[in-house]
Structure 1
Amino acid sequence: MNVDDAFNRLRSSMVGLYSDREATIIAGYLIEDLLHLPKHSMQALNSLQFDLIEDAGRRLALGEPWQYITGEADFYGLKFYVDQSVLIPRPETEELVDLAMGYIRAKQLSSILDIGTGSGIIPVAIGKKLTFLNQIYAVDISEAALALAERNAHRHSVNVSFQVCDILDENGWLQLPQIEVVISNPPYITRSEQESMHKNVLDYEPHLALFSDTSEQFYDAISRMVVEHQMPGCCVVFEINEHYAHQIVEVITKNGLQNVQVHKDMQGKDRMITAIKP
């Protein structure tokens, strides 16, 4: 088997799972990442390279996301370690980072808290860009996710304080630091939406990080925590389910947040919310 054969082997393993264009792009990524070779070549594979391609093809055919196969994903121009304890970063979350950084820069703030940090992409990406931040905190309910997030922070030389926290448990709120900006991309897919989701997401990505019991569950808890325990003027920046902006605005407003604004993503969908604790 040569590199061209390996490329075609990987592409064929994704038939029915991805479009031809997507399969071509993914196969190219895998060739370059696993073999460290140009994706089109007649160079023969050695036995180790052959085994890597065969393993990758088998896993792709079962629907496993290619980022879990390489163990890395791209986000905000950086590479992050990923595994099945964390979600694969989505492009729209880069817009959340942009929105948060714009606010931080405009107000010259110095402290942030990311709730439900997963692999740590949000605090690490922000900390890498905004080097003037002196307090970066991140929490998650999953110890496995936090261990991976710590590796990502170390990889990019960003000083982040990580902490295990179940944000739905009010008893843990007092342990959270007082900061100026709370950022969160919490689980926001409702159980009723599960049937329409792609197999590779449902079978491989952690349901704990995907699904909430109701569309407002985490926004309700986080907004109450901010109102009850954070400093006046604290800004909240949420990523949201595009279908439930109205319900989320209603809940966080009822809980006492003000200056609530819904922001659209590049696709024109309601994707983010900002609000302030008075």
Structure 2
Amino acid sequence: MIYKKLIKKLWELKKNRPIQYVIGKAYFFGMEFIVNEKVFIPRPETEELVSWILQDNKNTSNVKIFDIGTGSGCISITLKKKKPEIGHIHAIDFDQETLDIARKNAELHNVEISFKKVDFLKDSISFIPKRNENSVSIIVSNPPYIRLSEKKLLHQNIIQYEPFQALFVPDEDPLIFYKKISFWIKKKLTGVVYVYFEINQFIYLEIIDFLKKIGFLNIKIRKDFQGFFRMIRAVYYIDK
């Protein structure tokens, strides 16, 4: 029986299925996460994004965090695990099966996260109440950002097995998720909002220009461990 299972897994690997999907788990910040083809495999560059948030926010007791496009839940769960004093984390995704995996991961690590099914491109996050002008929010998102024309640059195992909707955006509007999230922030939130985005290194200047034009301040960009511009942090001050 063990031999048959081993042969099956070796055959899957031979067919380019990512090892994380073959064994059903991936590691992020040294923590184990359940994964399958419904969720994007956590990446080292996303660990760097989470590290940036942790470094910046030493006092998080009165901060609310919104993880938009949570996938496996690795960002939300790691933040809550490393900073248990965080008041509340809302983790949002459009797919119920994806959220089911994220919930299992939250249970695995014994953290409390509020998971919500929202198709962010179609629906607003209406369940979040407006708060006072002294409130502080952190928005973190690793949204789809690979243009369809860049598909040829990816390894075949990514194209074959990882969820299409977690990867690609149309060439004619590659900032679609950044725009939607940013305009939602302006419309729905109050107080000080810190935004942390993982980004496409080929269009980082367009993202910076967009954030500047709509009023985001203190924009910082960072390279990942491979030397690519991969992360942006910005601040928005909202008085209502």
TM superposition score normalised by structure 2:
0.91
Q: 96, 104, 124: which is aligned to 1:143? A: 96
- CA distance in structure 2 between the partners assigned to 1:102 and 1:198 by the alignment: 32
Q: Which residue of 2 aligns with 1:25?
A: none
TM-aligned CA deviation for residue 106 of structure 1? 5.3
Q: 44, 47, 56: which is aligned to 1:94? A: 47
TM superposition score normalised by structure 1:
0.79
- CA distance in structure 2 between the partners assigned to 1:107 and 1:59 by the alignment: 43
Q: Can you list the C-alpha shifts for 1:155-190, whole angstroms capped at 9, x where unaligned?
A: 001100000112212x42323456610000000100
CA contact (8 A) 2:60 2:86 kept: no
Structure with the higher fraction of residues in helix conformation: 1
Q: Which residue of 2 aligns with 1:9?
A: none
Q: Which residue of 2 aligns with 1:55?
A: 8
Structure with the higher fraction of residues in strand conformation: 2
CA contact (8 A) 1:112 1:180 kept: yes
TM-aligned CA deviation for residue 277 of structure 1? 1.2
Specify whether residues 252 and 173 from structure 1 end up closer, same or farther in structure 2 by C-alpha distance, changes over 3 A only: farther
Specify whether residues 61 and 177 from structure 1 end up closer, same or farther in structure 2 by C-alpha distance, changes over 3 A only: farther
The aligned amino acid for 2:180 is: A
Q: Secondary structure in 2 aligned to 1:57? A: helix
CA contact (8 A) 1:220 1:255 kept: no
Q: Which residue of 2 aligns with 1:272?
A: 231
Aligned residues with identical type, % of pairs: 36
CA contact (8 A) 1:184 1:237 kept: yes
Q: Which consecutive segments of 4 or more residues in structure 1 shift more than 3 A?
A: 106-109, 176-179
Q: Which residue of 1 aligns with 2:37?
A: 84
- Which structure has the larger Rg over C-alpha atoms? 1
CA contact (8 A) 2:39 2:71 kept: yes
Specify whether residues 230 and 269 from structure 1 end up closer, same or farther in structure 2 by C-alpha distance, changes over 3 A only: same
Give unmatched runs, 5+ long, in structure 2. 131-135
- CA distance in structure 2 between the partners assigned to 1:240 and 1:233 by the alignment: 22
The aligned amino acid for 2:216 is: L
Superposition CA RMSD, Å: 1.5
Q: Secondary structure in 2 aligned to 1:158? A: coil
Q: Secondary structure in 1 aligned to 2:21? A: helix
Aligned ranges 1:162-181 → 2 under 5 Å: 162-169=115-122, 171-176=123-128, 180-181=137-138
Give unmatched runs, 5+ long, in structure 1. 1-47
